[in-house]
Chain A
Amino acid sequence: MRRNKVARFIGKNIELFTFSLPAVIYIFVMAYVPMFGAVIAFKNYEYDKGILGSDWVGFKNFEFLFESENAFRITRNTILYNISYMLMTTLFALLVAILLHEISKKWLKLYQTAMILPFFLSWVVVSYITMAFLDHQNGFLNGWLTALGFEKVQWYFDAHVWPYILNVVHLWKSIGFSALVYFAGILGIDAELYEAARIDGARRWQMIRNVTIPQLTPLIVILLILSVGNMFRGDFGLHYFIPNNNGMTYSTTDIIDTYIYRALSTIGDVSMASAVGLYQSFVGFVLVVAANFTVRRINEENSLF
């Protein structure tokens, strides 16, 4: 009886199941199977004994993270940067999308292409572009500063300037793509709404405020919720390559991902590195559940689960 029901449910949705099969297998293999490896964080992993055979050490591998201030610092950096990236990208992408919609269509292709180009560059390439600006001896910025009679700035040694630099670089790289998404959203708005507004004598600004933005709100909310899910996952390339992995800037550039990478590659201790990784996953999990809970309290329709 019960088997039949399941069979029928699957039979009814067989196309959908078939479509989802590759993704399900991918997630299962890449996310669920390796999850058992998390036990390594509680062991003193020795290669010859293997994961199961190595000795249990309890929470010893977590000690180094929490004995120092690093745990707090990388957690704070990861979250604050992601919040700021999220807000900045949404705000500016929205602005650009509306501008694109309002200007004449003549140069539209050019603007779009110019803005989306950085999206396809790798962070390594971007890091050399930023180095051309920030290099102490030959960088453009210091060249301009000295030309204007100011002192040179040691960009790669000054931790205070990096929150701004990283935000600008991130925005530069990501705005093209996000603006495109919103622009597509605007194009999907029924033209009759604008016509009606125009007949009623609405000005441009009024049309933007009363037609475009309300119509885009569902899209904005969905994209925001989706990015909350990635809140605890930092952008490794951005934070590793752009500040050139320079020690003096760690206090404002180090995020969990770069810290794990350094912990594994320089200390070479798999167990310690996975302890940090597990910590990241755990806090990330808590964060997603909390975000979803909050969204559900405000508007149940928009919550993820």
Chain B
Amino acid sequence: MAAGQDGSSAQARKRGAGVHPLIAAGAAKLGRVLLAVLGLAAAAVIGGCSSALFGSDLEEAAQPGTDNPVELIWYYPEYEANADLGLVNEEVNRIVKAKINATVRLKPIDFGSYEQKMNTLAASNAPADVIWTSNWLFSWTDNAKRGVFRPVQDLLPEFAPRLLASLPERFWDDGRLGGDQYGIPNYQIAAMRPSLVVQKRFADKYGLDAGSIRRIEDIEPFLKRVKEGESGIVPFGTTRGFYMNMLYGIDWRVPVYLDDPSHTVLPDVTPEMKRNFELVRSWYVKGYVNEDSATLREASDAYSKGNAAAWFDPTGKPGSEAEFKAMDGGYDVLLAPLTSPYYTGAASSMNAISRTSKNPERALMFLELVHTDKELYNLLVYGIEGKHYVRTTGSFIRIDPEAGYYTNTDWVFGDIRNEYLPEGSPADKLEQTVRINEEARLSFYNGFVFDGDSVKAELANVRAVNEEYYGSLATGSVDPEEYLPIYEEQLKKAGSDTIAAEKQRQLNEWLASKGLKRHPNAP
């Protein structure tokens, strides 16, 4: 063996004869250098994602007081990037610095990519202090379970007592999961009142009395007249259709008929859904519905061009006339509610403290300011007075959408009871909101939260099926006669029955734990 090795090394020597002696001497070193470089690179990479590898510990701030200055990071969604965000941010810091010795970095992300970007940020344990969350975008329950947020019930009484007192108990309930308070709800409309929105110019021209509309079908004669009388106008604009349980006498927390004494959880496809899809399809065939829903991405695409005469709004909140006017090219609109308001909860817009926050106390103090400081709140929503808006009479303001800061989302930031009213809002917008929140019908199942952990795979697959078929069916783009059975079959294959059974099981347990057996409306 040794002889063979010697022989081959002799050969190597011969072949290597042409190499410059200096280089040959450095070669041994190079091997070590190579290893060292690779090792360093590996260390850098592993070091860089060590928080993802090992998790990051909750770092308790040494001084919960306001002696040391800190910087907070706040992620929230926005419609469009604002040129003057920097200016507004400076103003925000002026207020916040004076009051709690902190500065804030506002980090808005557009609605369309908020979920994706926040998922990525959260998965990489990126630094953040306050994160906007909800039950419809960047799901607060899913993310609380994944450990994105820090529970705050221990800190709230001490660091945000006025915030704690400012919201009704019902609101706080909606942000609690398994006894932990994750969500800090914004005060805004917590009820839904599915409504039709109609451009006033067409309602006037074609004699539509918004008050006469009781069901969504009632709008059809108007759509017909618009179709016949206008060219280039889409009678009804939509991106995802308008099927909602509340329109059809089905409870909105759990899919159960409102008057069902047996509390039977319904399958995903109901006769009501079929009726709805057939209605939209007939509108589509008659040319009342926009045909390009497949290439539209955001809900507002349905009306933002200003060429839709009517569209559907699931919330129908007081003051949305002004918001729609700002987004549909400046045309006035009427709101025709299709149901009485239902209490859907405060989880539709909340803030939460990130687990990666090094200063959760200060973050809460900041949120308290956002909720209770009128100047700060209006600054965040409307920008700088005199530059981005001017005050007119009373608490009304005139906004200049082109001035460089314009959010149109008062509901993202805190407590709308502190807000100035944009021109065009009803003068009693805030009173209406408060009244609706208090009077809205409460679901019989209020407080029941479905835990989908045991059916994770099924939920993922049902979601995939919905992405494939739901939009096209709900906008009438395809014939429900042909595709609804396919959709239903695919849902079954994806495990929708398993999910419904699990939901029923949890619901039964919940009913039993509440000592409830029969529905109060039951005969």
Q: Which residues of A contact B (CB under 8 A)?
A: 1-12, 14, 17, 21, 24-25, 28-29, 33-34, 45-53, 60, 63-64, 67-70, 131, 135-137, 154, 156-157, 244, 246-248, 250-251, 262-270, 272
**A12 x B16 contact (CB < 8 A):** yes
**B52 x A268 contact (CB < 8 A):** no
Which residues in B have their C-beta under 8 angstroms from that of A69?
Answer: 493
Question: B120 to chain A: closest CB distance in Å?
Answer: 8
Which residues in A have their C-beta under 8 angstroms from that of B456?
Answer: 60, 64, 269, 272
**A50 x B54 contact (CB < 8 A):** yes
**B478 x A248 contact (CB < 8 A):** yes
Q: In the A-B complex, list the 3 residue pairs whose CB atoms are closest, starting with the nearest.
A: A50-B55, A11-B27, A48-B147
Give A246 to B295 CA distance when docked, in angstroms.
7
- Contact A247-B23, Cβ < 8 Å, known A21-B37, A28-B41, A50-B55: no
Give A9 to B457 CA distance when docked, in angstroms.
53
Pairs A–B under 8 Å by Cβ, sample size 11: A1-B5, A3-B28, A17-B34, A25-B38, A50-B53, A136-B291, A137-B290, A137-B291, A244-B294, A263-B460, A266-B115
Give A263 to B164 CA distance when docked, in angstroms.
37
Beta-carbon contacts under 8 Å, B275-292 to A: 290-292
The digit string for B36-51, where 1 denotes a CB below 8 A from any CB of A, is 0110011011100001
CB closest chain-B residue, reference A243: B294
**B472 x A247 contact (CB < 8 A):** yes
Of the candidate stretches B197-205, B219-227, B463-471, the one touching chain A is B463-471
B369 located at the interface, meaning its Cβ lies under 8 Å from any Cβ of chain A in the complex: no
B125 located at the interface, meaning its Cβ lies under 8 Å from any Cβ of chain A in the complex: yes
Give A131 to B123 CA distance when docked, in angstroms.
34
Give A250 to B464 CA distance when docked, in angstroms.
10
**B460 x A64 contact (CB < 8 A):** yes
Give A248 to B23 CA distance when docked, in angstroms.
63
Give A60 to B123 CA distance when docked, in angstroms.
20
Give A20 to B178 CA distance when docked, in angstroms.
55
**B24 x A11 contact (CB < 8 A):** yes
Question: B502 to chain A: closest CB distance in Å?
Answer: 15
Give A67 to B123 CA distance when docked, in angstroms.
26
Give A249 to B429 CA distance when docked, in angstroms.
44
**A7 x B27 contact (CB < 8 A):** yes
**A247 x B469 contact (CB < 8 A):** yes
**B469 x A248 contact (CB < 8 A):** yes
Beta-carbon contacts under 8 Å, B108-148 to A: 115-116, 119, 122-123, 125, 139, 142-143, 145-148
Which residues in A have their C-beta under 8 angstroms from that of B23?
Answer: 11, 14
**B31 x A7 contact (CB < 8 A):** yes
- Contact A8-B291, Cβ < 8 Å, known A21-B37, A247-B470, A266-B115: no
Give A268 to B143 CA distance when docked, in angstroms.
9
**A28 x B26 contact (CB < 8 A):** no
Which residues in A have their C-beta under 8 angstroms from that of B125?
Answer: 47
Most buried by A among B5, B45, B457, B494: B457
Which residues in A have their C-beta under 8 angstroms from that of B478?
Answer: 154, 157, 248
Which residues in B have their C-beta under 8 angstroms from that of A248?
Answer: 294, 468-469, 472, 477-478
Provide the main secondary structure of the chain A interface.
helix
CB closest chain-A residue, reference B139: A268
**B42 x A33 contact (CB < 8 A):** yes
Give A264 to B16 CA distance when docked, in angstroms.
53
Residue from the list A7, A47, A60 in contact with B28, Cβ < 8 A: A7
Which residues in B have their C-beta under 8 angstroms from that of A268?
Answer: 115, 119, 139, 142-143
Which residues in A have their C-beta under 8 angstroms from that of B45?
Answer: 29, 33-34
Question: B51 to chain A: closest CB distance in Å?
Answer: 7
B443 located at the interface, meaning its Cβ lies under 8 Å from any Cβ of chain A in the complex: no
Residue from the list A6, A68, A157, A270 in contact with B123, Cβ < 8 A: A270
Residues of B within 8 A of A (CB-CB), count = 68
B56 located at the interface, meaning its Cβ lies under 8 Å from any Cβ of chain A in the complex: yes
How many CB-defined contacts (below 8 Å) exist between A and B?
183
Question: B229 to chain A: closest CB distance in Å?
Answer: 19
Give A262 to B468 CA distance when docked, in angstroms.
11
**B295 x A131 contact (CB < 8 A):** yes
Which residues in B have their C-beta under 8 angstroms from that of A3?
Answer: 28
CB closest chain-A residue, reference B471: A247
Question: B27 to chain A: closest CB distance in Å?
Answer: 3
**B464 x A68 contact (CB < 8 A):** yes
**B53 x A52 contact (CB < 8 A):** yes
Which residues in A have their C-beta under 8 angstroms from that of B145?
Answer: 46
Residue from the list A8, A24, A265, A269 in contact with B12, Cβ < 8 A: A8
**A64 x B146 contact (CB < 8 A):** no
Which residues in A have their C-beta under 8 angstroms from that of B44?
Answer: 29
**B464 x A53 contact (CB < 8 A):** no
B306 located at the interface, meaning its Cβ lies under 8 Å from any Cβ of chain A in the complex: no
**A67 x B54 contact (CB < 8 A):** no
Question: A213 to chain B: closest CB distance in Å?
Answer: 40
B170 located at the interface, meaning its Cβ lies under 8 Å from any Cβ of chain A in the complex: no
Residue from the list B123, B294, B461 in contact with A246, Cβ < 8 A: B294
Which residues in B have their C-beta under 8 angstroms from that of A49?
Answer: 55, 147
CB closest chain-A residue, reference B30: A10
B514 located at the interface, meaning its Cβ lies under 8 Å from any Cβ of chain A in the complex: no
Residue from the list A9, A25, A33, A154 in contact with B477, Cβ < 8 A: A154
**B470 x A265 contact (CB < 8 A):** no
**B460 x A267 contact (CB < 8 A):** yes
B503 located at the interface, meaning its Cβ lies under 8 Å from any Cβ of chain A in the complex: no
Which residues in B have their C-beta under 8 angstroms from that of A265?
Answer: 115-116, 119
The digit string for B49-91, where 1 denotes a CB below 8 A from any CB of A, is 0011111100000000000000000000000000000000000
Question: B387 to chain A: closest CB distance in Å?
Answer: 35
Which residues in A have their C-beta under 8 angstroms from that of B98?
Answer: none
**B460 x A272 contact (CB < 8 A):** yes
Given contacts A17-B30, A29-B41, 4 further A-B contacts (CB under 8 A): A8-B12, A25-B37, A34-B45, A248-B294
Give A8 to B12 CA distance when docked, in angstroms.
8
Give A266 to B470 CA distance when docked, in angstroms.
15
CB closest chain-B residue, reference A136: B291
**B461 x A28 contact (CB < 8 A):** no
Beta-carbon contacts under 8 Å, B469-491 to A: 469-472, 477-478
- Contact A8-B26, Cβ < 8 Å, known A136-B294, A267-B460: no
Residue from the list A1, A47, A70 in contact with B55, Cβ < 8 A: A47
**B26 x A11 contact (CB < 8 A):** yes
Give A246 to B470 CA distance when docked, in angstroms.
11
Give A28 to B143 CA distance when docked, in angstroms.
33
CB closest chain-B residue, reference A127: B295
Give A272 to B458 CA distance when docked, in angstroms.
12
Question: B1 to chain A: closest CB distance in Å?
Answer: 11
Which residues in A have their C-beta under 8 angstroms from that of B13?
Answer: 8
